[in-house]
Amino acid sequence: AQKDPKGWTSPQKVLAPPMVYITGEEMTHYAMQLILAQWIKPHVDTTKWEFFDLSCKARDESEDKVLHDAVAAGARIGAIFKEPTITPTTQQAHAMGLKKGWGSPNGAMRKGWNGVTISRDTIHIEGVELGFKRPVLFDRHAVGGEYGAGWAHTGTGRLMTTFFPDDHSLHPVIIDARRLDNASNVAVVYHNPLDNVREMAHHFFGRCLEMKVVPFVVTKKTVFKWQEPFWKTHKDVFDEFYKDQFKAEGLLDTTDGELAHLISDAATMQIIRWTKGGFGMSAHNYDGDMLTDEIAQAHRSPGFITSNLMGVAADGRAIKEFEASHGTVSDLWYAHLVGKPTSLNPLGLAEALMGAMSHSGVLAGHEAKLRVDRYVDCLRRALHATFRAGEGTQDMVGEGQKGKTTEEFIDTVAKRLSQYIARDLDKEQELLEYAGTTFKPKAVFSASMAEAVDRDALLEVFKEFADSSGETEQPTTLTFDQFEQLMVRLGAAPVKNPSRISSAREV
Amino acid sequence: AQKDPKGWTSPQKVLAPPMVYITGEEMTHYAMQLILAQWIKPHVDTTKWEFFDLSCKARDESEDKVLHDAVAAGARIGAIFKEPTITPTTQQAHAMGLKKGWGSPNGAMRKGWNGVTISRDTIHIEGVELGFKRPVLFDRHAVGGEYGAGWAHTGTGRLMTTFFPDDHSLHPVIIDARRLDNASNVAVVYHNPLDNVREMAHHFFGRCLEMKVVPFVVTKKTVFKWQEPFWKTHKDVFDEFYKDQFKAEGLLDTTDGELAHLISDAATMQIIRWTKGGFGMSAHNYDGDMLTDEIAQAHRSPGFITSNLMGVAADGRAIKEFEASHGTVSDLWYAHLVGKPTSLNPLGLAEALMGAMSHSGVLAGHEAKLRVDRYVDCLRRALHATFRAGEGTQDMVGEGQKGKTTEEFIDTVAKRLSQYIARDLDKEQELLEYAGTTFKPKAVFSASMAEAVDRDALLEVFKEFADSSGETEQPTTLTFDQFEQLMVRLGAAPVKNPSRISSAREV
């Protein structure tokens, strides 16, 4: 490459705008070290990134100063990537020799960045079918609800809750007065701060419009009357700023031309029914916790959903923190430590990193954004093409096939990424054709799921259906192996041992 | 029939023990009137049943005395069947000409009957595959949580919650003190009474053991620390009274030999994964609301899940109220009123009625129980056999097939029931053979769901899988029609218009 019209070929790398990079622990930290070395460093100048170590050890040694520094830097810079971290129990903290059990960093981050919403969206791989066909977007209110509740275990007695307005001319108000007549009770009090729900609504509807999905506001307001303002604020913002645009896009055709409300328990049903995707939900904090996990499972697993915190800086800039939806994957880490080969799928980590980099571009202005997005686009295409080529990790190849190890996969993507970047310089068009022909989509499914399939039970179902006719005969033959792949991919295959699958969950 | 060894052939009917029968409104009331006339009256002497009319009109005219009478009778008798009722909004109450919008009767019933748990279990039809293969049991704590919350919408200020113990020698305790710093907040306070959790645990584990399913206690106690006692009480009861029995049955093989706890958001995932069923969950009130609706949908629809309130009388007797999990099915009612044919599936209603009758037998002693159970057994077999014979309502026959109308279905079951009862008198064995040969199971699925299937999309998936091999060939052929039935039955078929399906929900 003699000329460098786009300013980012080696040796001249893409200059990445400022970003906060928070490092964590165990398997995901190990994988991210490899990714930084092989995907990022050869192509990206990261000198403007600020790194913070939120490992238990670093937090302990600094008496949690690292956390406060990271939060301050995040508030200043506005684009944050975070690796999964560990929040040790008191016992674990003791075993690790820590001064104390440093709590989850989430609270400090949500507070320091004025967290408004946690966006959790389905991740899709072009040409590979996962759960939902089209995107499912979710915004979960990042504040309020039982997460910040005060509580006590009580005997019999009376409970009184009083509100003292800041306006001293106003009388105190008794909000609730009740008898606790059981010998054993728990009393719980919490509040939902509502000032940022307008920002949440704008964020949510803007995203829904961009992705062309149908928006739903989810509450239990029919019974929990205090949830009415959450809906009302969404509705007001929608009617004033978004309704006409959604209508023009045909996104209100199935909701009588209006923003639709969905009761939270009905939402648990629709998530199972609406397998096509193409919808968005905005919900309170705990409902969001429940429903996004259901969506993750309906789509495939927590590895295929994002987890991004959107906050607002004092000057109105959006602060966005991106992380994978899963934890540090301890079981693979222990396997790695004793020298066993591992196969970690880094899709969620990579999506978070790419999201943070893209947002750093937004904050740095048009030119910077174009450069960063071009790199991110290459990385995403290289990643997707590797999965499509059947060169994925163990969870993404067909039954009987061997998936790549953690290291092999990262290496394979790195090679493809280099090709993409090199070709992109001179012949963008050729790259597109190349990607289209060589990496032909093939059916892939989770090998760990396949192991859990009850083949006998499945064969019974198959036989029942296949034998019940006999009169009509069609030329199309579906072999049982193909059928099994289909069932597994649809998440419809019966499993042998439910608890073994459940224990695979890391989050 | 000359002789009557079992004491319940016509003209001598089964003498049904005392039971409270609560009538409701609209389509479900109409269907129950037919059921009473054709299934019950010809075979059962209901003179000991006490009927209460909880229609809006009757509640309005009696100033809600009927509700209080029904609750009192329920507490005295202990076995209650309830048809779906209407809780009108203020506008509806006005339109109906009511004095006021009489609230939901549920609160008064839960209180009057010392409601402990609402049991919601999957309904299964022998020989017809619905969602879960084996039973899924659920117990939802009938008291506490946000349903009884006090709340207020506030500006900025301070909120203080104080507990005043009944023991006057103790000081008041400040349970929570916080600033509400947003311009707009809602403050929420509630309590969970815990005294009856032991009874709930006994009820739950007893049921799990009887149905041979694996028990799970579901909470969010990892974050909502006040939920620890709910788990701890279950665990104590389990270890003391049930552990050995569950172990002996092999029901702890997948849970390391111990009672398993499941975090509520993880439960939303497992409900999708554990398609085989064979598990039970016990949960707090709101979690139960969310999770049971998810289970209903994963199984098929709210028509295939029970809703039974278990309470405790002052003398320790179990008070049990049985109702269908769905509402009054207004859309079919309005169709019926203008003379259109309807096809209401009364399975949920019938299961509730049979449940209440069986419990009335339990309360009336051994002899009465045997007689009632024999009748209930005939009714259940007649009902199931009618579905299996392909003579079900519109939601239970194959695509293109015409389901029975509401009236035809009830009539068909009535005829079969009479045959069963008549034959049972003299040749029980013949009946079994008769049922086994004539009513051969066939694949059935929801016609309304079938209408919503995106056949083009399905065909694409089918083709992709069927074509991708080509090397191996197996003799078994699955036609596309069979395949579609399979997909629909598994709930895995993509749908064309999600909102149209959603509007079919009545509850």
- What is the pLDDT, as a whole number, of residue A166? 97
Q: Among residues A33, A78, A85, which one has the least CA distance to residue A64? A: A85
Write out the two tokens for A471: 């009169």
Mean pLDDT over B381-396 rounds to 90
DSSP state of B317: P
Chain A window 144-173: which residues touch B at a Cβ cutoff of 8 Å?
146-147, 149-167, 173
Q: Which domains does chain A have, with CATH numbers?
A: 10-115+307-441 (3.40.718.10), 131-143+197-299 (3.40.1010), 150-189 (no CATH), 447-502 (no CATH)
Q: Among residues B316, B220, B338, B304, which one has the least CA distance to residue B268? A: B220
Measured in degrees and rounded to the nearest 5, phi and psi for residue B437 equal -95, -40
Per-residue pLDDT of A57-79, as tens digits, reads 999 999 999 999 999 999 999 99
Measured in degrees and rounded to the nearest 5, phi and psi for residue A242 equal -125, -25
Per-residue pLDDT of A281-338, as tens digits, reads 999 999 999 999 999 999 988 899 999 999 999 888 899 999 999 999 999 999 999 9
Burial label, B405 (beta-carbon count in 10 A; 0-12, 13-18, 19+): middle
Please report, for residues B76, B319, B371, the alpha-carbon distance to residue B118 in angstroms, rounded to integers and kept in the order given: 20, 12, 27
Is the CB of A499 inside 8 Å of chain B's CB atoms?
A: yes
Q: Is the distance from CB of B406 to CB of B393 less than 8 angstroms?
A: yes
Per-residue pLDDT of B208-223, as tens digits, reads 999 999 999 999 999 9
Q: Determine, for residues A163 and B164 on separate chains, whether the beta-carbon distance falls below 8 Å.
A: no
For tokens 């069609």, what's the residue?
A474
Q: Determine, for residues B498 and A194 on separate chains, whether the beta-carbon distance falls below 8 Å.
A: no
Burial label, A389 (beta-carbon count in 10 A; 0-12, 13-18, 19+): middle
Residues A379 and A377: their CA atoms lie apart, in Å, by 5
Per-residue pLDDT of B454-479, as tens digits, reads 555 556 555 555 544 444 333 345 66
Beta strand A185-193 pairing with A150-154: antiparallel
DSSP state of A18: P
Q: How far is B13 from chain A (nearest CA, A)?
A: 41
- What is the pLDDT, as a whole number, of residue A469? 42
Q: Determine, for residues B152 and A165 on separate chains, whether the beta-carbon distance falls below 8 Å.
A: no
Q: Is the distance from CB of B322 to CB of B78 less than 8 angstroms?
A: no
Mean pLDDT over A108-126 rounds to 94
- What is the pLDDT, as a whole number, of residue B474? 36
B318-324 sheet: strands from edge to edge: B49-53, B19-23, B79-82, B318-324, B306-312, B115-119, B136-141, B279-283, B214-219, B260-263
Q: Determine, for residues A479 and B500 on separate chains, whether the beta-carbon distance falls below 8 Å.
A: no
**Per-residue pLDDT at B449 exceeds 90:** no
Beta strand A19-23 pairing with A79-82: parallel
Residues B30 and B466: their CA atoms lie apart, in Å, by 48
3-state secondary structure of A96: coil
Is the CB of A353 inside 8 Å of chain B's CB atoms?
A: no
Nearest residue of A to residue B215 by CA position? A499
Residues B13 and B47: their CA atoms lie apart, in Å, by 11
Chain A window 129-148: which residues touch B at a Cβ cutoff of 8 Å?
133, 146-147
Q: Determine, for residues A187 and B502 on separate chains, whether the beta-carbon distance falls below 8 Å.
A: no
Residues A110 and A130: their CA atoms lie apart, in Å, by 31
Top pLDDT among B221 and A476 is at B221
Beta strand A115-119 pairing with A306-312: antiparallel
Instruction: Work out how many CB contacts closer than 8 A connect A with B.
Output: 376
Chain A residues in contact with B269 (beta carbon < 8 A): 293-294, 296-297, 505
Q: Considering chain B, what percentage of its residues have pLDDT values greater than 70?
A: 81
- What is the pLDDT, as a whole number, of residue A71? 97
- What is the pLDDT, as a whole number, of residue A426? 40
- What is the pLDDT, as a whole number, of residue A126? 84
**Per-residue pLDDT at B267 exceeds 70:** yes
Q: What ipTM does this complex have? A: 0.79
Is the CB of B314 inside 8 Å of chain A's CB atoms?
A: no
Q: Determine, for residues B157 and A146 on separate chains, whether the beta-carbon distance falls below 8 Å.
A: no
> Omega into A498 within 30° of 0, i.e. cis?
no
Mean pLDDT over B148-171 rounds to 97
Top pLDDT among A450 and A442 is at A450
Q: Is the distance from CB of B246 to CB of B215 less than 8 angstroms?
A: yes
pLDDT band at B431 (very low <50, low <70, confident <90, very high): very low
Q: Considering chain A, what percentage of its residues have pLDDT values greater than 90?
A: 70
Is the CB of A87 inside 8 Å of chain B's CB atoms?
A: no
**Per-residue pLDDT at B426 exceeds 70:** no
What DSSP letter does each residue of A303-354 carry, written as one string?
Answer: GGBEEEEEEE-TTSPEEEEEEESS---HHHHHHHHTT-------HHHHHHHH
Nearest residue of A to residue B161 by CA position? A161
Chain B residues in contact with A181 (beta carbon < 8 A): 193
Q: Determine, for residues A478 and B494 on separate chains, whether the beta-carbon distance falls below 8 Å.
A: no
- What is the pLDDT, as a whole number, of residue B389? 84
Mean pLDDT over B420-434 rounds to 54
Mean pLDDT over A187-210 rounds to 97
Residues B350 and B79: their CA atoms lie apart, in Å, by 15
DSSP state of B404: B
Top pLDDT among B286 and A7 is at B286
Per-residue pLDDT of B24-75, as tens digits, reads 999 999 999 999 999 999 999 999 999 999 999 999 999 999 999 999 999 9
Top pLDDT among B154 and A456 is at B154
DSSP state of A501: H
Nearest residue of B to residue A177 by CA position? B150
Per-residue pLDDT of A121-153, as tens digits, reads 999 998 788 899 999 999 999 999 999 999 999
Per-residue pLDDT of B72-113, as tens digits, reads 999 999 999 999 999 888 888 888 899 988 888 988 899 999
Per-residue pLDDT of B232-242, as tens digits, reads 999 999 999 99
Q: Which residues pair with B191 in a beta bridge?
A: A187
The DSSP element (H or E) to which B288 belongs, if any, is helix B285-299
Mean pLDDT of chain B: 85
Q: Determine, for residues B226 and A188 on separate chains, whether the beta-carbon distance falls below 8 Å.
A: yes
Burial label, B131 (beta-carbon count in 10 A; 0-12, 13-18, 19+): buried
Q: Determine, for residues B176 and A150 on separate chains, whether the beta-carbon distance falls below 8 Å.
A: yes
Per-residue pLDDT of A164-191, as tens digits, reads 999 999 999 999 999 999 999 999 999 9
pLDDT band at A463 (very low <50, low <70, confident <90, very high): low
Q: Is the distance from CB of B332 to CB of B303 less than 8 angstroms?
A: no
The DSSP element (H or E) to which B223 belongs, if any, is none
**Per-residue pLDDT at A447 exceeds 50:** no
Is the CB of B128 inside 8 Å of chain A's CB atoms?
A: no
Q: Is the distance from CB of B489 to CB of B445 less than 8 angstroms?
A: yes
- What is the pLDDT, as a whole number, of residue B45? 96
Please report, for residues A20, A308, B46, B267, the alpha-carbon distance to residue A132 in angstroms, rounded to integers and kept in the order given: 32, 20, 52, 20
